[in-house]
Amino acid sequence: MERLKDHFATKIESSVKEVKDFIAEHGDEVIGEIKVSQLYGGMRGMTALITETSKLDPAEGIRFRGYSIPELQEKLPKYPGGDQPLPEGIFYLMLFNELPDDDIVRRVSNNWARRAIIPPHVFKVIDALPSHAHPMTQFIIGIAALRTESEFQKAYNSGIPKSEYWDPTYEDAMNLIARLPRLAAYIYRRKYHNNEHIEPDSKLDWAGNFAHMLGFDNEEFKELLRLYMTIHVDHEGGNVSAHAVHLVGSALSDPYLAFQAGMSGLAGPLHGLANQEVIRWTFAMRDELGGGLPSKEQIANYCRKTLNEGKVIPGFGHAVLRKTDPRYTAQREFALKHMPHDDLFLIISRVYEVVPEILQSTGKIKNPWPNVDAHSGQLLMHYGLTDYDFYTVLFGVSRALGTLSSLIWDRALGFPIERPGSTTTELLKEKFAK
Ligand code: CMX
């Protein structure tokens, strides 16, 4: 067995015992109540899942295995000469619950580089799609085509016992993570760069190589992608993409099927697609106002118009968070350091000054503050990645790290098939009429 997997195997027994003992001692205790309004309201605030890799606090934001984003920016290993964390590090932290050192991160990098082989039929499947197919459509179909490589499927068919499910899940997860940058870069170069593809450079780190295959060898862009790939990994278990991966995986659908389901959720405009929508909305505003930096009043009027048309202002609001998303702040700091005078950054900053008050004034929006998607497009635009309908694919590549490390733990801990109950309005009415 390889060293990383070997190390993971040593963690399983004690974790399984810990969970078993905990359930034996506290299994009958109550952690909350469910209100009727929550059944109709997208289960907001209802703790119903175990996701070990990260926890979202409404007031403070995300913590990965207890560490905030600024803490991780300080503590996780960096690329030589760089100052942003390497995504290999946050993956290791989420999966192993240990902070990695430089050596371990290099091992993860090398491990993924070895696994990053995509069979030719996957490219043929992508090539069969019309080039106008949305990049997320191509990404989801590419993941489905990669499923021919599933180790879990093979192992299940050969009758592997339940106690070993985690092993082929680990293999599939690691292979998929290793291959996604290549798949995403293929989609990008096919759609926007005349099908001119760039060979991987296995000497680079995972995100650096991804930037290289996309066609961006600028060191600053590579640093951006390392940050981007780190902060988008995970947002506890209840968001649509993470929940979908967990739910579909719970049927023992292999990681390719489970992750594909998650990506179908991420492609929705209220979730990950918001990163493309932010740029679309901002450009439409800029164009309507005649270009340049709009005044606060112009932005406010444009926001009111958006709301009056019954649309959302993309990049603002959150189902859990009740403050500015620390992932937004991390990106804003990157912009302040590297491009404080960028035209689009000035617009995004001014939008940040105007939108919360307008959203608050509607009286119905629980969180008027910006989320992760309000900023990411501006940074990518600055370095020339201007094809914004590709942005959600970048989010998706990163989200693999959190959702798939969680899925490995789901199998290691032997979590059952997910099957919550449902009821009907009629039955609820009857219940409360009594
Ligand atoms: N613009 C306009 N209206 C908004 C809004 C926004 N940015 N955010 C919330 N609202 C509205 C809701 O649509 C809802 O309206 P109705 O009562 O008429 O249905 C009302 O305010 C209350 O919503 P909420 O409880 O504050 O927010 P939800 O938990 O229901 O939804 C979210 C959360 C993110 C879907 C929502 O804020 C939104 O649509 N934001 C814009 C899209 C976006 O940026 N999504 C990305 C989120 C991060 C990610 O997953 O990537």
> How do the domains of the chain map onto residue ranges?
1-273+392-434, 274-382
SS3 for 128? coil
**Residue 41 C-alpha to ligand 1 middle, in angstroms?**
12
Quote the DSSP letter at residue 56. Answer: E
Q: Which of 97, 17, 7 minimizes the C-alpha distance to 55?
A: 97
- Candidates 2.30.30.100, 1.10.3720.10, 1.20.1070.10, 1.10.230.10; CATH matching 274-382: 1.10.230.10
Active site residues: 271, 318, 373
pLDDT at 117: 96
If you measure from the C-alpha of residue 317 to the centroid of ligand 1, how many angstroms do you get, rounded to a whole number? 5
The predicted pLDDT at position 359 comes to: 98
Long-range contacts, 380-386 (Cβ 8 Å, 24+):
380/224, 381/279, 381/344, 382/335, 382/338, 382/339, 382/342, 382/344, 382/345, 383/216, 383/218, 383/220, 383/221, 383/224, 384/216, 385/214, 385/216, 385/221
Q: Residue with the nearest Cα to atom 3 of ligand 1?
A: 312
Kindly give the number of the ligand 1 atom that is closest to the alpha carbon of 315: 44
Length of the chain, in residues:
434
Cα-Cα-Cα-Cα dihedral sign, residues 187, 193, 197, 201: negative
Identify the pLDDT of residue 2: 86
Ligand 1 centre to CA of 356 (Å) is: 12
Expressed in angstroms and rounded, the spacing between residue 73 Cα and the centre of ligand 1 is 29
- SS3 for 321? coil
* Tokens 């594909």 sit on residue: 260
Cβ-based neighbours of 285, under 8 Å, separated by 6 or more: 294, 299, 302
Distance 191 CA to ligand 1 centre (A): 31
Q: Whose CA is nearest to atom 30 of ligand 1?
A: 319
Q: How many C-beta atoms surround the C-beta of residue 148 within 10 A?
A: 11
User: Which of 38, 240, 241, 312, when mutated, tests ligand 1's pocket best, judged by the most ligand atoms within 8 Å of its CB?
Assistant: 312
CATH architecture of the domain with range 1-273+392-434? Orthogonal Bundle (1.10)
Nearest 10 degrees: CA dihedral of 179, 182, 187, 191? Answer: 180
Pocket of ligand 1 (CB under 6 A): 239, 270-272, 274, 307, 312-319, 359, 364-367, 371-373
Identify the pLDDT of residue 434.
Answer: 78
Top mutation candidate among 364, 391, 394 for ligand 1, by most atoms within 8 Å of CB = 364
Q: Which residue CA neighbors atom 31 of ligand 1 most closely?
A: 319
Kindly list the distances between the CA atom of residue 327 and the CA atoms of 98, 331, 332, 339, in Å, as whole numbers in the listed order. 22, 6, 9, 18
- Parts of the chain with a pLDDT under 70: 1
CA nearest to 177, candidates 255, 97, 100: 255
Atom of ligand 1 lying closest to residue 271 CA: 50
The CB-side HSE value for 232 (13 A sphere, CA atoms) comes to 29
Asked if residue 255 lies in contact with residue 169, where contact means CB atoms within 8 angstroms, the answer is yes
pLDDT given at position 1: 62
